[in-house]
């Protein structure tokens, strides 16, 4: 058997280190993404809770002869 040349022994772990670094970066990006989405959801919830309701878009005006009025 031939011994592994020195240059190949040193380079053997480099691809694994790159994959590990890529995994760490991807994990950090995912955590940041989740934090941003949670922050946006909370802002939307507070915005909806603190704004005055707009009933005109949801319910028709009274007495317009809509389908819900008995005749």
DSSP 8-state symbol, 8: H
- Per-residue pLDDT reduced to its tens digit, 18-52: 999 999 999 999 999 999 999 999 999 999 888 87
Q: What's the whole-model pTM score?
A: 0.53
In the prediction, which pLDDT does 64 show? Answer: 58
Distances, alpha carbon 45 to alpha carbons 3, 12, 32, 41, 68, in Å:
65, 51, 20, 6, 31
Residue 14 pLDDT grade (very low, low, confident, very high; cuts 50, 70, 90): confident
- Contacts of 63 by beta carbon, 8 Å cutoff, 6+ apart: 69
Write down the pLDDT at residue 10.
62
């Amino acid at each position: 058997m031939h011994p592994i040349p020195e240059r190949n022994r040193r380079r053997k772990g480099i691809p694994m280190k790159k994959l590990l670094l890529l995994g760490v970066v991807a994990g950090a990006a995912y955590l940041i993404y989740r934090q941003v989405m949670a922050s946006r959801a909370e802002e939307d919830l507070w915005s909806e809770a603190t704004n005055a309701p707009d009933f005109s878009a949801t319910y028709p005006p009274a007495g317009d002869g809509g389908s819900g009025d008995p005749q």
